[in-house]
Amino acid sequence: MRITVVGTGYVGLVVGACLAETGSDVVCADIDEHKINGLKQNVLPIYEPGLEDLVERNQQQKRLTFTTDVGSAVKNAEVVFIAVGTPPDEDGSADLRHVLSVADVIGRNMSREMVIITKSTVPVGTARKVADAVGKNAKFPFHMCSNPEFLKEGAAVEDFMRPDRVVLGVDSDYSRSVMAELYAPFVRTGKPILFMDIPSAELTKYAANGMLATRISFMNEIANLCEKVGANVDNVRKGIGSDVRIGPSFLFPGPGYGGSCFPKDVKALLRTAQENKASLKVLDAVEQANERQKHRLFDKLSSVMPDGMRGCRIAVWGLAFKPQTDDMRESPALTLIESLLEAGATVVAHDPVAMPEARRRLGDRIAYTESNYDALTGADALVVVTDWNQFRHPDFERIKSSLKRPIVIDGRNLYHPDKMAALGFTYRSIGRGRE
């Protein structure tokens, strides 16, 4: 099958490489010449485990190619995925300019019947707008499909190759048959392909991320309550997570959610509700709770620094919003760092893979170290923000001897409070007893 993927960001690159891996001829197109030139040399614009090997192998075997000529890439395709960015506007709605621009290019360049798939995260009604834009110039029949992605950063290749479900909103038997054939190699273990109408598919993506964001914010609120009443959120989490109606996933408290999906999708879903005069008060509260939670680490650190932050040196372990990615979009680390700098502290940070992205965002406003332990030298306190495996079992004696003061703020509950107390640390975590 001849497939074109327009957009070589996080979603488009994973989609293109994984589809090529199953034998399809895939062209990934993007107007960013620098990015495309890098991809031709197997230099990826993102960090994602396993993706580099896929790109290199499928380029070598001539199943995957990259181009800046979007029109040419569309011309002979049977299937076109639109996977360009949909950044939030100031009002929270998804910016569809790039999506509709691609739709216009498709309409002007298509040379045969094709299926056009919106893979970007887009609000309800977008497929119809894309169809209108394509139809202005199309000389051949086309069929629309909404195929929302459910890729977890850090596990995106595995998620695509072995999905727990594939959601497909289709408008015809033709698009249904083409998409069933396309995804057949990925659901051989019996995982479902869920065919539905296009608006339902478009809403499913936002609803799923809204639900996950709700679980995270709810658990963070419970953790904050635990600190008031002397309860341990670890016990509460296990107690409710063992209920089969609830389950254990997304119940770990922390410094708030971030990344490219949850913050943007919550805002877009709230905007969709507002435009349709519907109420989503629960989700509105989720967003407010998350914004409050991102300030918790600074507040906890402030509570154990009686002389204030000015002139202090703070070590930060973890800059990405989650492990196994270099994505810092909406990362709680950014909120913490900005608060520290505003309070007059200096920051020295380490992250296993996000340092280049941090330098791009923060420049020389903070210092960076190649080792997590190097960040501790002369620091007044350590704040753990991202739960990388490398941080889970550190040398505590080395931490204590390197710090000027034995203060550790653990935003991911990686360490045991009793052990930290026995070692002589001033230790604060999230929701584990009174503070």
- Residues recognised as catalytic: 261
**3-class SS letters over 153-201:** CCCHHHHHHCCCCEEEEECCHHHHHHHHHHHHHHCCCCCCEEEECHHHH
Give the separation between CA 267 and CA 280, rounded to whole angstroms: 11
Contacts within 8 Å (CB) and 24+ apart, 47-50: 47/325, 47/326, 47/353, 47/354, 48/10, 48/13, 48/14, 48/153, 48/154, 48/156, 48/157, 48/325, 49/154, 49/155, 49/157, 49/324, 50/157, 50/158
Tokens 């495309």, located at residue: 36
**Residues contacting residue 41 through CB under 8 Å, at least 6 positions apart:** none
Token pair, residue 29, equals 């197109």
Give the separation between CA 206 and CA 145, rounded to whole angstroms: 17
Give the separation between CA 414 and CA 252, rounded to whole angstroms: 11
Question: Is residue 318 a contact partner of residue 388, using CB atoms and an 8 Å limit?
Answer: yes
Question: Is residue 269 a contact partner of residue 275, using CB atoms and an 8 Å limit?
Answer: no
Give the separation between CA 44 and CA 47, rounded to whole angstroms: 7
Question: Is residue 210 a contact partner of residue 250, using CB atoms and an 8 Å limit?
Answer: no
- CA max distance for the chain: 75
